[in-house]
Structure 1
Amino acid sequence: MLKADIVAANLAALPERSTGIVLGLERIVNFLENTLPYDPRTKLRVVHVAGTNGKGSVCALISEALIAAGYKVGTFNSPHFLEPNDALRIQGMPIPESEHAELREWIRTLDAESQSPSGQLTSFEQVTASALWWFAQNDVDIAVVEVGMGGLRDATNVFASPDDRGSMGVGRSLVQCICPVDEDHLGVIGNNVEEIAREKAGIMRPGSWIIIANQDRTEAFHKIRQTAHRVSPGRIVNVRRQPTCDIHVPNFSIKSCEDGDNVVQRLRPPTDLPCWASFNGTGKRCLRAKYPASLDTYIKSGHAQRSRDPPQTQVLSSDVKPLTTESASVPIEVDLPLALPGYYQAGNACVAFYALDVLRTQFGFTKLTDAAMQVGFQNVRWPGRLSWLSLLSKRAALPRSATPSFPEDMIDSAASVNSGVGMAYDHSGNNSSGNESQGGSGHRSSGSESGSIDPTESLDNWLLADGAHNEPAAVELRKYVDTTLRRISQQRYIRGTRTRNTNTALHVRWIVGFSKGKDVSTILSKLVMPGDTLWIVPFSQPKEMPWIKCESPASIARVARRIPSIDNSVHLEEFDHLSDVVDRLATDTSDMQLNALCGSLYLVADMYRELQIQPF
């Protein structure tokens, strides 16, 4: 798809003011200042996160670490996942549906009665106002807020500097994180990467700390860095993959630890995931972070004048010495588990770590010990991103004896597999169930007996769900899939269940759906290889997001057939409903294809609903 076509589609999808996202701050600022009983921003301290990819993961990591440290944390993500209320969470739990409905109706009524000269709020501005009010009413210690679209003119960009300098809003935006920036909403927030980067850098505030993720696009990095040095010089952390981000695999020592009168939750021990799904998750990978990135910035930021956590509160790898005043004259390293899958998550973890380090050293969040961060990073959950979902609940033809069972901290469901309810064996860190004696948290499941079948012999029982909907995300997804396929082949060969035969190579069954305006051609060219299967399916209309339009399967198929890599060896099929796809998967007996669903987070959400999975 040509860029001009993408821009045209994005512009055509722009909503009317009353129905969606219309960029600009005048309406929401006026509403917060003059319509609500009080301005909720006056009670909030904020970590603000913008970017193209990785925003949600960074928000999840920061929120979990703060929760583990004992703070009351509000988190606002956009868009919602399954239901509109799950975008607003305190301590990781969504606002109850009934309370959310009452709050939204109250906001709508106030807005309609205000007769503001700025005009009525858009639906996204109403959601944003609802989130800020709910956080303020519940006296959160800090709010982690994800940008909706762009940054500079986004409805979330209503906060002032940490010291309230300037006229950029009310409240205190302490830290701004700029995740990797790429072509995003072309024609709406910018016509090229540099313009898009300028828009996203618009959340920066004087006197705040700015964390800049490693940027693959040079033009984006230069524009973001230039803006940061102009807005808040001397308070910038540029995250690089090396040397601050070193992936290795230590043996974590799992200990309980105390921080004053508070007992810090223990790290969850690594679970015995199927070998083909665990090569880079569940704490077996580790980010070795140095803070700050260099000795020069280390001294300037004041780290050399203070010690870190008392040794007795640390849970560190055996090769990391406890932090003391004597050791504080050189850059300090800390090992952080990487529970979220995908190698790119190391970069997101780096951004989250430095944002947290700034909070504790510059803004008084002293309970954010290294131990608390390790617990938070281990327990983080972020559904729909490289998530392994079980299809067993839909495979009614399987004999009961063939139904596998799993340890409780691997199950993300409202009931057990054997009960017939959908289960997410969620490699994205969505381990919502845990053994209470081991410090786990979340709901319990009854389906955890021993004696599971060999996962390398039941590839058809699993589906990999990921919200990848642009080129960079598609590239990372393909990397992950290729590594997984190699792992499966290796394990089958080692166990003697398969011979090394190039004629029986594993392939991928891609199940895709896209929103209008996406670069379908580029995304599919990165994903689909000769021998793969391509199933195209629409997603349902997301609630409260009328501006989102699904591309028709026929249109996607036309684009796909023009892609050179999608040759005659690729079986292409169109479906009218996702339920038809699930029915086909339930009857499939092939174990030579990996099922992967992607292209839109809205499609992933539909699959969670189809399998009756509750991610939060």
Structure 2
Amino acid sequence: MPETASDQELIDEMRERVAEARKSLSAALGAGDGEAAWEAALVALTARGRFGIRLGLGRSRSLLRALDSPEQGVRGALVAGTNGKGSVVALVSAALNAAGVRHATTPSPHLVSYRERLQIDGKPIGGLPFARAIDRALAAADQIEARVGPTTEFELLVGAIFDALREEQVKTAVVEIGLGGRLDAMHAWDGGVAVVTNVGLDHERYLGDTIEAIAGEKAAIIVRGDRAVTGATLRGGALDAMRHRAARVGAPLRIAVPGEVELLGRNGLHVELEGYGVVRIGLLGRHQAVNAAVAAATIDALREAGIADVSADALRSGFAAARWPGRMELIENAFGPTSGRDLLLDGAHNPDGAAALAEGINDLGDDLRGAGKTTLVLGAMADKAVDALCIALTESERLRGATLICTSVADPRSLPPADLERIAKAAGLGSSTIIAADAAAAMRAAATHHGPVVVAGSLYLIGAVREGLMRSGVLPNEGLL
């Protein structure tokens, strides 16, 4: 995606694509053809990526007003953070499911289908209702364009999401911030609870090049009248930024800190949580202890705000059942029913995420199964701190000695595999290297080896691998293909 608005020729091309897609969308909606309507809506929505990333809330707020403010009927938690957002949302969602609370979540980015970006009770919304919401959002965008300019893809998505929730009569949501916090389009909504999971270095071009600066951007989602939750630490002044912002707007702040942790191998972990005692977490990796503490504090804040009442038993049941695709996701026998080989998928795409993955692999030890040395399939975006990411991965002895398969993903920002190989070698990652043109080729190469396979470096890569596994029947389709 371009970082700034494209030149006029590309914008004119986009307008033509959108116009044709909207004709197809209108016809499909009239015929009640959900599949065709969704395909046309997706073209009309994603074509606006040509307008690039334009931080600011003015267009999002104008669009929501043109839609008659559907966001005002939804309360819940707005979740920001460098890492852990998805895990926290997955844990909170699982607890809400266990308590029977109907709710929406907005995972970002999606892995296989764009419809994953709006889920109700953990299931992606249907193509037809999502297409209808996009159609209404497009019409609203037409109304405001002369005054505020063309809306971007993500601004339009915000409008469509809340319009769809109004139509589906969903009153509770746990919503992820896309980039930063202060100026992210999703911050046009305030649900009453503001959560910042943690703060590290990522998206420095937009958010600043220090943890303190990035923390300030993320802390800005805390507004007057909120209850605030954070798992941020003192590193780089992140926790101080949270405290300062909460005090400035008069928001009570919960600082989530986990207690004693017991690792359970392939079965997750036990962690002591304030007010709940020892709780089993179904997600893998000791870093999930902090995410669980943040999620439990979020549940408490939702209860205190009168938004959702989740009992201790429901929280325990939900946290034990929680799953989060593409994040320390362990898939057994992915290379055949008798292969005895594990496939571990993790979207680690920044140094902190890579460090957590390396630690998780170390903790799994022999519980990561396969008869031979590990294969690491790695792909990364060129605008990420790839050198630091590779260095962080070398904290795992398995990964230092792994067969490294460097690949690319279907995105213009993808780092060429040869460049990735050079950076990985300089970091001491992998004992031998293979170049693969794409995710499918990388997985075919990995299948010829005998040890466990780890896939990491980009959520786009994880999505491509999961799609392949769905098409081959290793993973359930879940109606996404």
| TM-score normalised by structure 1 residue count | 0.65
Q: 1:16 to 1:364 in 2, by over 3 A?
A: closer
2:432 to 571, 579, 592: 571
Q: 1:289 corresponds to which residue?
A: 273
Letter of the 2:265 partner, please give it: F
Q: 1:335 to 1:513 in 2, by over 3 A?
A: same
Letter of the 2:405 partner, please give it: W
CA contact (8 A) 1:180 1:216 kept: no
Letter of the 1:517 partner, please give it: D
**Alignment partners' CA distance in 2, 1:54 and 1:370:** 22
**Alignment partners' CA distance in 2, 1:98 and 1:552:** 37
Q: 1:57 to 1:92 in 2, by over 3 A?
A: same
1:594 to 427, 431, 452: 452
**Alignment partners' CA distance in 2, 1:114 and 1:197:** 32
1:347 to 264, 282, 290: 290
Q: 2:407 corresponds to which residue?
A: 537
**Alignment partners' CA distance in 2, 1:182 and 1:602:** 21
Higher normalized helix content (fraction of residues): 2
Residue 344 of structure 2 is aligned to residue 464 of structure 1: yes
Q: 1:240 corresponds to which residue?
A: 257
1:337 to 280, 285, 294: 280
Matched ranges for 1:141-160 at <5 A: 141-160=171-190
1:64 aligned counterpart, secondary structure = helix
Q: 2:57 corresponds to which residue?
A: 25
Q: 1:375 corresponds to which residue?
A: 317
**Alignment partners' CA distance in 2, 1:214 and 1:201:** 10
Letter of the 1:373 partner, please give it: L
**Alignment partners' CA distance in 2, 1:142 and 1:111:** 25
Q: 2:304 corresponds to which residue?
A: 361
Q: 2:93 corresponds to which residue?
A: 63
Per-residue deviation at 1:488? 5.9
Letter of the 2:260 partner, please give it: D
1:227 to 245, 266, 277: 245
Per-residue deviation at 1:369? 0.8
Structure 1 stretches of 5 or more lacking a match? 1-11, 161-172, 250-277, 292-332, 396-402, 405-457, 493-497, 499-505, 542-547
1:385 aligned counterpart, secondary structure = coil
1:288 aligned counterpart, secondary structure = strand
Deviations 1:416-449 (A, max 9, x none): xxxxxxxxxxxxxxxxxxxxxxxxxxxxxxxxxx
Q: 1:92 corresponds to which residue?
A: 122
Deviates more, 1:54-63 or 1:96-105: 96-105
Deviations 1:347-393 (A, max 9, x none): 11111111111222342634x1111111211222210011122454x
Q: 1:163 corresponds to which residue?
A: none
1:115 aligned counterpart, secondary structure = helix
Deviations 1:125-170 (A, max 9, x none): 111111111112222231111001000001111235xxxxxxxxxx
Per-residue deviation at 1:514? 0.6
Q: 2:462 corresponds to which residue?
A: 604
Letter of the 1:239 partner, please give it: A
Q: 2:393 corresponds to which residue?
A: 527
**Alignment partners' CA distance in 1, 2:271 and 2:207:** 33
CA contact (8 A) 1:74 1:89 kept: yes
**Alignment partners' CA distance in 1, 2:247 and 2:75:** 23
Structure 2 stretches of 5 or more lacking a match? 7-47
Deviations 1:65-95 (A, max 9, x none): 1222121101112211211111101111111
Deviations 1:540-581 (A, max 9, x none): 24xxxxxx6211112212222333x24xx7101211122222
Percent identical pairs in the alignment equals 28
Deviates more, 1:340-349 or 1:107-116: 107-116
Q: 1:310 corresponds to which residue?
A: none
Letter of the 2:300 partner, please give it: D
CA contact (8 A) 2:62 2:144 kept: no
Residue 75 of structure 2 is aligned to residue 51 of structure 1: no
1:611 aligned counterpart, secondary structure = helix
Q: 1:609 to 1:175 in 2, by over 3 A?
A: same
Deviations 1:11-54 (A, max 9, x none): x9514274243110001111111x21x21022111211000000
Letter of the 1:531 partner, please give it: G
**Alignment partners' CA distance in 2, 1:580 and 1:135:** 39
1:337 aligned counterpart, secondary structure = strand
Per-residue deviation at 1:191? 2.4
CA contact (8 A) 1:471 1:523 kept: yes
**Alignment partners' CA distance in 2, 1:361 and 1:530:** 47
Letter of the 1:286 partner, please give it: H
**Alignment partners' CA distance in 2, 1:353 and 1:208:** 17
**Alignment partners' CA distance in 1, 2:2 and 2:350:** 17
Per-residue deviation at 1:614? 4.0
**Alignment partners' CA distance in 2, 1:23 and 1:601:** 22
CA contact (8 A) 1:338 1:349 kept: yes
**Alignment partners' CA distance in 2, 1:280 and 1:209:** 35
Consecutive aligned runs of 4 or more in structure 1 exceeding 6 Å deviation: none
Task: Report how many aligned residue pairs link the two structures.
Answer: 427
**Alignment partners' CA distance in 2, 1:364 and 1:147:** 19
